[in-house]
A and B are shown apart, each in its own frame.
Chain A
Amino acid sequence: MKSLILHTATRLMIGILILFSLFLFFRGHDEPGGGFIGGLVGAGAFTLYAIAFGTDLTRKVLRVDPITLIALGLASLVVSGVIPLITADPFLTGKWLFLEWGNSDIKLSTPLLFDIGVYLCVVGFIVTVIFSLEEEN
Chain B
Amino acid sequence: MNGFLVFPIIIPLIVATLALLFRKSSVMQRWIGVTGMVILLASVIVLFRDVYVDGIQVLQLGDWDAPFGITLVGDMLSMLMLGISAVMGLIIAVYSLYDIDKERERFGYYPLLHILLMGVNGSFLTGDIFNLYVWFEVMLIASFILLALGNSKNQLQGALKYVIINLFSSLLFLFGVALLYGMTGTLNMADLAQRLPEVENVGLVTTVSMIFLVSFGIKAAIFPLFFWLPASYHTPPVAISAIFGGLLTKVGVYALIRVFTLLFTQDIGYTHTILMWVAGFTMVIGVLGAASHYEFRKILSFHIVSQIGYMIMGLAFNTALGLMGAIFYVLHNILAKSNLFLISGIAQRLLGTFELKQMGGLYKHYPFLAVLFMISAFALAGFPPLSGFWAKLTVVKAGLAVEAYVLTATAILVGLLTLFSMMKIWLTAFWGTVPEKGVPEHFGKIALFGAGNLYIMVVPVMAVAGLILLVGLYAQPLLEVCLIAAEQLLNPSVYIEAVLGPQ
A-to-B contact residues, CB < 8 Å: 67-68, 70-72, 74-75, 78, 81-82, 84-85, 88-94
Residue B100, interface by CB 8 Å = no
Tell me the bound Cα distance from A70 to B13 in angstroms: 12
A29 nearest CB across to chain B (Å): 17
Contacts of B17 in A (CB 8 A): 71, 74-75, 78
Contact of A91 among B6, B14, B16 (CB under 8 A): B6
Contact B23 A91 (CB under 8 A): no
A90 near B60: Cβ-Cβ < 8 Å: yes
Beyond the given A68-B20, A71-B17, A71-B20, please list 17 additional residue pairs across the A-B interface where CB-CB is below 8 A.
A67-B20, A71-B21, A74-B13, A74-B16, A74-B20, A75-B17, A78-B17, A89-B63, A90-B1, A90-B6, A90-B60, A90-B61, A90-B63, A91-B61, A92-B62, A93-B62, A93-B63
Most-contacted residue by chain B among A68, A82, A92 (CB, 10 A): A92
Contact of A90 (CB < 8 Å), options: B14, B16, B20, B62 = B62
Using a CB–CB cutoff of 8 Å, the interface residues on chain B facing chain A are 1, 3, 6, 10, 13-14, 16-17, 20-21, 23, 59-63
- A75–B13 CA distance with the chains assembled, in angstroms: 9
Give the complex CA separation of A82 and B6 in angstroms: 10
Closest Cβ of chain B to A109, distance in Å, is: 13
Contact present for A90 and B3 (CB under 8 Å): yes
CA distance A81 to B61 in the complex (A): 10
CB-nearest residue of chain A to B22: A71
Interface SS majority for chain B = helix
Q: Is the CB of B61 within 8 A of A78?
A: no
User: How far apart sit A59 and B473, CA to CA, in the bound complex (Å)?
Assistant: 59
B114 to chain A, nearest CB (A): 11
What chain A residues lie within 8 Å of B59 (beta carbons)? Answer: 90-91
Instruction: Output the least CB separation between A16 and chain B (Å).
Output: 31
Q: Considering the chains assembled together, what is the distance between the CA atoms of A67 and B23 in angstroms?
A: 9
- The dominant DSSP class at the A interface is helix
Contacts of B62 in A (CB 8 A): 90-94
A88–B4 CA distance with the chains assembled, in angstroms? 11
* Least Cβ–Cβ distance between B68 and chain A, in angstroms: 14
Asked whether B10 lies within 8 Å of A78 as measured between CB atoms, the reply is: yes
The distance from the CB of A94 to the nearest CB of chain B, in whole angstroms, is: 7
- Please tell me if the beta carbons of B63 and A78 are within 8 angstroms of each other in the complex: no
CA distance A88 to B3 in the complex (A): 8
Would you call A91 and B20 a contact (CB within 8 A)? no
Residue numbers in B under 8 Å from A85 (CB-CB): 3
Chain B hits for A84, CB < 8 A: 63
- CB pair A81 B10 closer than 8 Å: yes
A19 to B59, CA, bound (A): 40
Q: List 11 A-B contacts (CB under 8 A).
A: A67-B23, A68-B20, A71-B17, A71-B20, A72-B21, A78-B13, A81-B6, A90-B63, A91-B6, A91-B59, A92-B62
3 closest A-B pairs (Cβ-Cβ)? Answer: A71-B20, A91-B6, A92-B62
B20: min CB distance to chain A, Å = 4
Residues of B within 8 Å of A82, CB to CB, are 10
Bound CA–CA A67/B13 (angstroms):
15
Give bound CA distance, A84 to B3, whole Å.
10
Contact A92 B61, beta carbon cutoff 8 Å: yes
Residues on A with C-beta less than 8 A from B14 are 78
The chain A residue with its CB closest to the CB of B23 is A67
Given A82-B10, A85-B3, A91-B10, do A75 and B21 touch, yes or no (CB 8 Å)?
yes
User: Complex: how many Å from CA A85 to CA B59?
Assistant: 12
Q: Once the chains are docked, how many angstroms separate the CA of A74 from the CA of B17? A: 6
CA–CA, A72 to B13, complex, Å? 12
A92→B20 CA distance, assembly (Å)? 22
> Closest CB of chain B to A119's CB: distance in Å?
16
Q: Give the CA-CA distance A71 to B16 in the complex, in Å.
A: 8
Report the minimal beta-carbon distance from B29 to chain A, rounded to whole angstroms: 13
Shortest CB-to-CB span from A137 to chain B, Å, is 17
